[in-house]
A and B are shown apart, each in its own frame.
Chain A
Amino acid sequence: MLKEINAVLAGFGGQGILFMGKMMAYSGLIDNRELSWLPSYGPEMRGGTCNCSVCLSDEPVCSPLVTAPNVLVAMNRPSYDKFVNTLVPGGILIYDSSLIDVEVERKDIEVYAVPATQLADEKGYKGMANIILLGKLLKVTEFTTMDTMKKTIEKVVPARKQHLIPKNVEAVELGYNA
């Protein structure tokens, strides 16, 4: 388990990047940890590239803006290109290999390629590639427990979409085991 997570999550607007970050943040809230969630904002919210910084720690968070992440989740090529070299040595890269066709050059990082969008489409979780990647992130970093993650899903899925709770849990599990 990583004691301190400084994550950058990045992709296109509409892929649920900010939501993925919020899930991490809420898990931290439930676990009673220190945390921050900082989105990119402005025109980027409207369909362009989109990213957010998430910090989880047992100490008060200093800089909410993560410039040297130890975790990077990339959901498109421009985001991969922009952030891969900011990862600290030994950092963790998780990327959607169905959208990013790349030979990762860095040898000093842990790399996890998950064909999340393809998995989502094939297994009936369309539009939930972000949740699948979150599952993988959970497995690799243990930023929280599966139990907290389930509580998080119950908390963040809005009241009128309660029927989607099991689906989200399944998507997390799918990524966890991918």
Chain B
Amino acid sequence: MSERVLMKGNEALAEAAIRAGCHHFFGYPITPQTELAAYMAKRMPKIGGTYLQAESEVAAINMVQGAAAAGIRAMTSSSSPGIALKLEGISYMCGSDLPAVIINVQRGGPGLGGIQPSQADYNLATKAPGHGDAHILVLAPSSVQEMVDLVAKAFDLADTYRMPAMILADGMLGQMMEPVVLPEEGHAREIEKPWAACGHHGQRKHNIVNSLYLQASELNEIVKKRFERYAKIEETEALAENYMTEDAEYIVTAFGATARIAKAAVREARKEGIKAGLIRPVTLWPFPKADFVKAAETAKAFLSVEMSMGEMVNDVRLAVECKKPVYFYGETGGVIPTPAQVLEQIRKIAGGAE
């Protein structure tokens, strides 16, 4: 086991990727994720890897696509406006069944928005990661340690299921420092990629990495097959942290940095005698529906707390099938909800529902 070190979230993401066997990074500077690119620029030349500053986010994701098509673990990172630019490439990668990891250190939007933390790309990541019928894996760390752990998981899942994975972080997680224990180097999983376009060397028929199918029936069939794979992922890979939910009457739900604030509020509520609990989805796609279904059996109400105008709340409503009321509290544009504000919401719901 390595020693505990103090790292910024952005730097921890970078080091974790390297230790997950990703030695090729393509990026473009944008606040608040730039430390990640800077870290890669420093480390990659020393380990014989690639750090390449692309001319745009569009180019960067397509470089990742090239590397991924050639069977190589590669990563890019950006923040919300830059992620929007990458969606073209992400959709093509979905269509070509290519694995890669995309880091989104979210900031406020729309437009140039702001540079403070936000979670308003939830819908983008989980519902529409580019055009067409497609999903990507979406993982939401809520501590610097979890950023490290989920990067490795993201690469493994992406390779296993041949699809892109996004780490949905935010400016707060990216900028903050916490102690982390990094995995040892040289223990990354290696997953065979017989489909990769990296030269057939006269050993096999040529590989084609492609997302074009001009016959409607063919595309129909391929997309349906892909959705069978998605269904399997939804069954097996959904993950959530349940905190004090067993006897909880009021379930607060939040992901990422907001979940920590919600947790603080849940603790305070418990001190006041309100039976509150927290469900923190770790995977946003697949969404951990089962945890909500279970909680809905005993809980009186749900409260989704987000740094947005309300995006995940709709998945919560779908998961509990409107059997219990689902409330929403959010701040946006870079404003971070405080534990006191969340507590106030819990009190209100507890008072109103009793």
Looking at the assembled complex, report how far the CB atom of B273 sits from the nearest CB atom of chain A, in whole angstroms.
19
In chain A, residues 113-140, which have Cβ atoms closer than 8 Å to a Cβ of chain B?
Answer: none
**Any chain B CB within 8 A of the CB of A73?**
no
Query: In the complex, are the beta carbons of B4 and A29 less than 8 A apart?
Result: yes
State the CA gap A1–B338 with chains docked (Å).
26
Contact at B260–A38, with CB atoms within 8 Å? no
Among candidates A28, A34, A41, A62, residue contacting B175 with C-beta atoms closer than 8 Å: A41
In the bound complex, CA of A94 to CA of B260 (Å): 28
Residue of A nearest to B114 (CB): A42
Interface check B179, CB cutoff 8 A = yes
Instruction: Bin chain A's interface residue count.
Output: 20 to 34
A63 touches B339 (CB 8 A): yes
- Residue A76 lies at the interface, judged by CB distance under 8 Å to chain B: no
Q: Least Cβ distance of A13 to chain B in Å?
A: 15
A37 and B338 alpha carbons, distance in the complex (Å): 17
Say yes or no: B264 contacts A62, CB within 8 Å: yes
Check B340 for interface membership: any CB of A closer than 8 A: yes
Q: In chain A, residues 86-127, which have Cβ atoms closer than 8 Å to a Cβ of chain B?
A: none
Q: How many residues on chain B are close to A (CB under 8 Å)?
A: 24
Q: Which of A51-69 contact B (CB under 8 A)?
A: 61-65, 67-68
Contacts A63-B339, A67-B338, A67-B340 given; indicate if A36 touches B261 (C-beta within 8 A).
Answer: no
Complex Cα–Cα for A121 and B5 (A): 34
Partner of B176, one of A32, A38, A67, A68: A38
Q: Give the residue of B176, B261, B267, B336 whose beta carbon is less than 8 angstroms from that of A37.
A: B176
Chain A residues with Cβ under 8 A from B340's Cβ? 67-68
Q: Which of A32, A38, A39, A61 has the most CB of B within 10 A?
A: A38
Q: Is the CB of B339 within 8 A of A32?
A: no
Q: Are B4 and A32 in contact (CB under 8 A)?
A: yes
Q: Report the nearest B residue to A41, measured CB to CB.
A: B175
Name the residue among B115, B177, B257 with the largest chain A CB count within 10 angstroms.
B177
Q: How far is the CA of A42 from the CA of B116 in the complex (A)?
A: 8
B172 at the interface (CB under 8 A from A): yes
CA distance A29 to B179 in the complex (A): 7
Which of B5, B179, B263 sits near A35, CB closer than 8 Å?
B179
B32 at the interface (CB under 8 A from A): yes
**List of B residues within 8 angstroms of A36 by Cβ:** 176-178
B277 to chain A, nearest CB (A): 14
Known: A37-B176, A37-B178, A68-B340. A63 touches B261 (CB 8 A): yes
- CB neighbours (8 Å) of B172 from chain A are 38, 64-65
Whether A41 pairs with B177 at a CB distance below 8 angstroms is: no
Residues of chain B at the chain A interface (Cβ within 8 Å) = 4-6, 31-32, 115-116, 171-172, 175-179, 257, 260-261, 263-264, 267, 336, 338-340
Mark A residues whose CB is within 8 Å of B: 22, 25-26, 28-29, 32, 34-39, 41-42, 61-65, 67-68
**Nearest 6 interchain pairs by C-beta:** A62-B264, A37-B177, A38-B176, A67-B338, A63-B261, A42-B115
